[in-house]
Amino acid sequence: MDPAMTGVVTPEHLGLFKSQGFFVLKGVVGESDVEKLRSECDRYIALVDADMDRRGVTSLGITHKRSRYFISNKWVESQVLRQFLFGPLMREITTAILGEAVYLFNEQFVVKFPEKGMKFGWHQDSGYIGHPHRPYMSCWIALDPVSEESGTVFALPYAQAGTRTMVAHNVEEGTNDMIGYRGDEKGLPVEGPAGTVMVFSSTLFHRSGVNTSPRMRRVYLLQYSAEPLTNREGTKLWNFAEPFPGTKARAVRM
């Protein structure tokens, strides 16, 4: 599908986002963009591995070597990433959800290695901020085909979670994951080809399973907000608040 096309997000999608907290766009990212993002992802995995080797460690935060990787905020130095995350497809998706002002809040690669990539527990992205804020949105972009076997993401619709607002999270020993739901619901798996995008609210509970497939499961996660997100005191930006070019977002200085 041509990333520059319009009409990707329909009124039905917007209704699902409001009622369930998410929707899925299968195969909307073009093959050329997928290949470029995969290449950047692999390049940064090699750099992270080299950094861990220098430090003599096998984990950094919630990244675990040759198992599960979270590689964040490389858009600052990568023209490839900037072109995509501020491109026409992401502009259409973000403005459909957030309105006329859009800020890049965070971006990261999330990778699970074949046959041993770790799971990731039930959480809301807002749970990592931990204080009241206007919910933001995430675009979970599959760079490889995703299925239950490959450790895809599972969504817990608002009605099943019993909440559409942020709840307190606790750190899980051994993984350093933040966990906010410990109920019995299994959630709905997101399955589709490379280029599939799950669009969801920061208050949606989601998790992912172990990658038991023989293939890498690479994902590019982009997060955008309708206003700058700050610390609890409102004196410092929580992460980025980079205005999306062409929207009504404006530069922020603190």
Query: Within a domain: residue 251?
Result: no
Query: Within a domain: residue 108?
Result: yes
What is the C-alpha to C-alpha distance for residues 25 and 246, in angstroms, rounded to an integer? Answer: 23
Question: Phi first, then psi: what are they for 211, rounded to 5°?
Answer: -85, 100
Domain of 186?
A: 12-53+68-243
Radius of gyration of the chain, Cα coordinates, nearest whole angstrom = 17
pLDDT tens digits, residue range 99-114? 999 999 999 999 999 9
What is the C-alpha to C-alpha distance for residues 103 and 2, in angstroms, rounded to an integer? Answer: 24
Which CATH number fits the domain that encloses residue 167? 2.60.120.620
pLDDT tens digits, residue range 19-51? 999 999 999 999 999 999 999 999 999 999 999
Q: Does position 53 have pLDDT exceeding 70, yes or no?
A: yes
Q: Does position 2 have pLDDT exceeding 50, yes or no?
A: no
Query: Within a domain: residue 253?
Result: no
Query: Within a domain: residue 223?
Result: yes
The residue type found at 69 is Y
Query: Within a domain: residue 80?
Result: yes
Q: Does position 168 have pLDDT exceeding 90, yes or no?
A: no
Number of domains in the chain: 1
Query: Within a domain: residue 26?
Result: yes
- Residue closest to 239 by CA, chosen among 230, 252, 227: 230
Tokens of 37: 């993002």
Query: Within a domain: residue 152?
Result: yes
Q: Does position 87 have pLDDT exceeding 50, yes or no?
A: yes
Query: Within a domain: residue 254?
Result: no
Task: Give the count of beta carbons closer than 10 Å to the beta carbon of residue 87.
Answer: 14
Q: Does position 82 have pLDDT exceeding 90, yes or no?
A: yes
Confidence of residue 127 (pLDDT cuts 50, 70, 90): confident
Tokens of 134: 């206007």
